[in-house]
Amino acid sequence: MSGFIPPHGGYEDLHSYKKSLIVFLATYYLTEKWVRLGSRTRDQMEQSARSGKQNIVEGSLVSGTSKESELHLTNIARGSIGELEEDYKDFLRLRRLPIWHKNDPRMLDMRALGTDQATYETYQAYIESDDPEIVGNIMICLCAQTGYLLDQQILELEQTFLREGGIRERMTRARLEVRGEPQPADVPACPLCGKPMRQRMARQGPNAGRPFWGCSGYPGCRGTRKVE
């Protein structure tokens, strides 16, 4: 019998987590260096950096029992990183410094450092520079890369949820296995609600005696499919 709680956790292997950790460490270093202690801006930037990282962690840890929560928390992380990126743009605007275009040669050099093995030390010379123009733009670059990774992660989570459903659908499949009810290997999803379907036999009407796919959520959902 297969269990209904899939492997979960392992957030330290997520590229989005690795990048968000760099953003978190850099933000705490930079707010101490550049932003006045006790200012609202400093608090908000530090909170956004922490929220981006911690919501990735929490989403990964709860993914085994709630794909919905994982998706929700990952979306929160994405919003926090986006807010922080805007803060770094303001950091430059308030100093009347340019925000480099993504194809600016200097920005391309920064972007090229963004490998899967990158750490804080990879960007340390930029982050700890005394030139605020360099500091602001490296952080915009890092936030943009983190945001992109989270966008891809969210898209993958959405597709997985539509394809496999959540904990209720997995519990249903596990119960059917325990009961010994035969289930084809390729169980389609309900066209109405996305839950896994069960093969049933029509009892009346013109298709009486013929198999069809019925939603496992019946009678709450009455979605059907033809058996190909």
Per-residue pLDDT of the chain (228 residues; tens, 9 = 90+): 444 445 445 899 999 999 999 999 999 999 999 999 999 999 999 999 999 999 999 999 988 777 888 999 999 999 999 999 999 999 999 999 999 999 999 999 999 999 889 999 999 999 999 999 999 999 999 999 999 999 999 999 888 777 776 555 555 555 555 555 555 556 788 888 888 888 887 877 777 778 888 888 877 888 888 877
Task: Please state, as a whole number, how many other Cβ atoms lie within 10 Å of the Cβ of residue 98.
Answer: 11
Nearest to 116, CA basis, from 8, 7, 22: 22
How many C-beta atoms surround the C-beta of residue 167 within 10 A? 16
Q: What is the pTM of this model?
A: 0.71
Q: Coil, helix or strand for 198?
A: strand
Rounded distance between C-alpha atoms, residue 56 and residue 198, angstroms? 34
196: preceding bond cis by omega (within 30 degrees): no
Cα 50 to Cα 44, 82, 95, 96, 118: the distances in Å are: 10, 13, 25, 27, 19
**Which candidate, 10, 15, 87, 16, places its Cα nearest to that of 47?**
87
